[in-house]
Chains A and B, each alone.
Chain A
């Protein structure tokens, strides 16, 4: 373990290897590390948001897609006959796995949040609800509507599309926003590291001049800066990611009463996803510093 730490320390040390030709750059190095850490922290949250909304969209989509409701509004004397007719139609409809009329108790329970527990259901013209469970193939809602219209005029099919679609759309949009946030965070990290690298290179014009005098190629000089900034970004991102993951882990537990917010954390293998943030931050730093270094070196004559 000590040997591993020692090797990591040697790798991270700004004074090791060819990058020693570049003088220590305390301010820009600290700035890079802090920026990478802050961005990694935000990236973990954006990732958690994106994954949570992805799960939400899947769940809403799947749960709502598998169930439908037929609502029968008919005169009291026809209610039983139309209910039986609708159930019979549903039982012979391809794509319907099960269909059953809700009992009075179940309908009372559904209305309880709005009307209280003592609702006299038998005195009110409450429609009869029939729960329809689809099989994996699903049914043809247009065809079913036509059959219901013909045989049970008071029956209306609600396949939840009008409920499901905006919810799924909202969840998908949140997921897209999460991904966009990640891309923006990566771009911002790149921009900040580019600024820091530009500042470091400009401040070291004399060093560049000496290195060129002794025959250093631009790639060699650039690599010295690239290695330094990449390592700083990696270290900063490791810290930010760790902090972000700890913060997510400390969020309140998801519960049945909880809504979207309590389900924001990572679940299962999703906990591995944030681990890609530090290497990605290092990659962004590498690309940004390399591009900045070569551009600045080209301008330094």
Chain B
């Protein structure tokens, strides 16, 4: 069992001996971890180590098969589907494959969290347009997702994740398909959100991105190795 603790008031996410497996084999096991509000985390590890699975546990797309995961103090296994949906509105997620609705424009896709929360999108149009401009997608606002490049889609996915100003942002390789300049820009957005008190968790292979973040904000680097999570060394 590996334990990485960080205590700063009420934790937004807490894992207690949590694990996940299927067909009798454990992909992740014995993870104990707390994520405090306003903390900034990087998640690293080799491909296939379980970084994406770990992130999915944090927004309840998967539920732990052993131990416990508490999100905002609640175990998703004890919640109804509606309660899980409500909980997800407090979490912004950038999927590795972005996941858009291909029949909606990028602007509508970015506004989707507002739409499903029945918030008046027109009332928040200026924020939406500002955000789209900030991620460099003002010109592509009316384009459909298949018409965008990989990098543009990732920027749009990040914009969608933060449009509702969620308490936690989980990003799975958010800079995988963008150039260094845009990576820096996206990182700056996440750093700004973190400075506003949001909890950030980024799964990445990009050590330069981690170093750039460390230069701006206090971060913690976690590494998944052999199905367990551990604090990364000081070499990062």
What is the interface of chain A, defined by CB distance below 8 A to chain B? 18, 20-21, 23-24, 206-207, 209-220, 298
The distance from the CB of B161 to the nearest CB of chain A, in whole angstroms, is 9
Most chain B CB within 10 A, of A207, A210, A216, is at A210
Across the interface, name the chain B residue whose C-beta is closest to A207: B101
Across the interface, name the chain B residue whose C-beta is closest to A215: B89
Interface of A is mostly: helix
Residue B223 interfacial (CB < 8 Å): no
| Range for the number of chain B residues in contact with chain A | 20 to 34
Residue B95 interfacial (CB < 8 Å): yes
Residue B93 interfacial (CB < 8 Å): yes
Could you say which of A21, A217, A219 contacts B101, with CB atoms under 8 Å apart? Answer: A21
If the complex has contacts A20-B104, A21-B101, A207-B101, are A214 and B82 also in contact, measured as CB distance less than 8 A?
no
If the complex has contacts A215-B117, A217-B82, A218-B81, are A210 and B101 also in contact, measured as CB distance less than 8 A?
yes
Residue B188 interfacial (CB < 8 Å): no
- Is the CB–CB distance between B85 and A21 below 8 Å? no
Could you say which of B59, B100, B116 contacts A216, with CB atoms under 8 Å apart? Answer: B116
Residue numbers in B under 8 Å from A211 (CB-CB): 101, 112, 116
Please report the C-alpha to C-alpha distance between residue A215 and residue B112 in the assembled complex, in whole angstroms.
9
The distance from the CB of B197 to the nearest CB of chain A, in whole angstroms, is 20
Residue numbers in B under 8 Å from A213 (CB-CB): 59, 61, 88, 93, 95, 99
Residue numbers in B under 8 Å from A20 (CB-CB): 104, 108
Please report the C-alpha to C-alpha distance between residue A216 and residue B116 in the assembled complex, in whole angstroms.
5
| 3 cross-chain pairs, A with B, having the tightest CB-CB distances, nearest first | A215-B89, A216-B116, A23-B103
What is the interface of chain B, defined by CB distance below 8 A to chain A? 59, 61, 81-82, 85-86, 88-89, 93, 95, 99-104, 108, 112-113, 115-118, 160
- Is the CB–CB distance between A214 and B112 below 8 Å? yes
If the complex has contacts A18-B115, A21-B112, are A214 and B88 also in contact, measured as CB distance less than 8 A?
yes
Could you say which of B85, B102, B103, B160 contacts A212, with CB atoms under 8 Å apart? Answer: B85
The distance from the CB of A47 to the nearest CB of chain B, in whole angstroms, is 40
Q: Give 20 CB contacts A-B under 8 Å.
A: A21-B112, A21-B115, A23-B102, A206-B99, A209-B99, A210-B99, A210-B100, A210-B112, A212-B88, A213-B59, A214-B112, A214-B116, A215-B89, A215-B113, A216-B116, A217-B82, A218-B82, A219-B82, A220-B116, A220-B118
The distance from the CB of A205 to the nearest CB of chain B, in whole angstroms, is 12
Please report the C-alpha to C-alpha distance between residue A64 and residue B200 in the assembled complex, in whole angstroms.
87
Residue numbers in A under 8 Å from B93 (CB-CB): 213
Please report the C-alpha to C-alpha distance between residue A20 and residue B103 in the assembled complex, in whole angstroms.
9
Residue numbers in A under 8 Å from B116 (CB-CB): 21, 211, 214-217, 220
Residue numbers in B under 8 Å from A207 (CB-CB): 101
Please report the C-alpha to C-alpha distance between residue A217 and residue B118 in the assembled complex, in whole angstroms.
11
Across the interface, name the chain B residue whose C-beta is closest to A224: B116
Residue numbers in A under 8 Å from B59 (CB-CB): 213
Residue numbers in A under 8 Å from B117 (CB-CB): 215
The distance from the CB of B108 to the nearest CB of chain A, in whole angstroms, is 8
If the complex has contacts A210-B99, A218-B81, A220-B116, are A21 and B86 also in contact, measured as CB distance less than 8 A?
no
Residue numbers in B under 8 Å from A218 (CB-CB): 81-82, 85
- Is the CB–CB distance between B103 and A214 below 8 Å? no
Please report the C-alpha to C-alpha distance between residue A227 and residue B117 in the assembled complex, in whole angstroms.
18
10 new A-B pairs (CB below 8 Å) besides A210-B100, A213-B93?
Answer: A206-B99, A207-B101, A210-B112, A212-B85, A214-B113, A215-B113, A215-B116, A216-B85, A216-B116, A217-B82
